[in-house]
Amino acid sequence: MRLAKYLAHAGIASRRASEVLIAEGRVSVDGEKVLDPARDVDSRNKILFDGERVGSGPAIRVVYALNKPSGVVSTAADTHGRPTVVEMVRSGAASSRRLYPVGRLDVDSTGLILLTDDGDLAHRLTHPSFEVPKRYIARVSGGAVSERALQALRDGIFLDDGKTAPAKARQIAAGHLELTIHEGRKRQVRRMCEAVGHPVRELKRVGFGSLDLGAIPEGKSRRLSLPEVEALLAPTDQDRVA
């Protein structure tokens, strides 16, 4: 089988997109970089794409981490023509994938959002029963936040859709909070802060499960490694919100 066709069957990209990936030098066969998409290969060959083994079995699923800017919507498409998170990672191997955001960030919020083509993985990361923590930095109005307000956030806030689960909350500077939640209600952090008298002025997600935003520049993304994905799916007890 031709190498480009082999990559397409493995779920890496379409055949045409696979030819581009090969020409970019991102594929090796038996330890040797191969630039010819017509190279004959089979399951006995050790084929690597970006250093990861490619098999002829189930398709390789991908997860991308994006540092979302303000003004970008967390959907695959937008009827109002606004830029979307999916458009921001459509490059290289991602161009042939049908990626979907894992949960959402408000259009005016920034920071870490994940995208994947694996629906089961997205469910594991977003369903409240799995308690995957999400960490935010919020700049709030109203000056320094009192210990009473912080404790209310930790205990859970009564919102119009019910009481929130306990959160981790601390003030890292006057009017700047670090909040960790494991639910995913609409505009939850903003509503929680407003309920204690400190409306959010800026909100940035800086952590998702075991993953930190790190040094990803705003508007840029990177593909997660297999160990990073496995760590996301197996949060430790200390990562969970008490």
Strands (E), the chain: 27-29, 32-33, 47-49, 52-54, 63-68, 100-102, 110-116, 134-140, 158-159, 162-163, 168-173, 176-181, 200-208, 211-212, 221-223
Taking alpha carbons only, the member of 15, 17, 20, 19 closest to residue 5 is: 15
Q: Which residues pair with 212 in a beta bridge?
A: 207
Cα separation, 99 vs 118, in Å, equals: 8
Tell me whether residue 50 is one of the annotated catalytic residues: no
Which is the catalytic residue, given 36, 50, 78, 106?
Answer: 106
| Active site residue ranges | 106
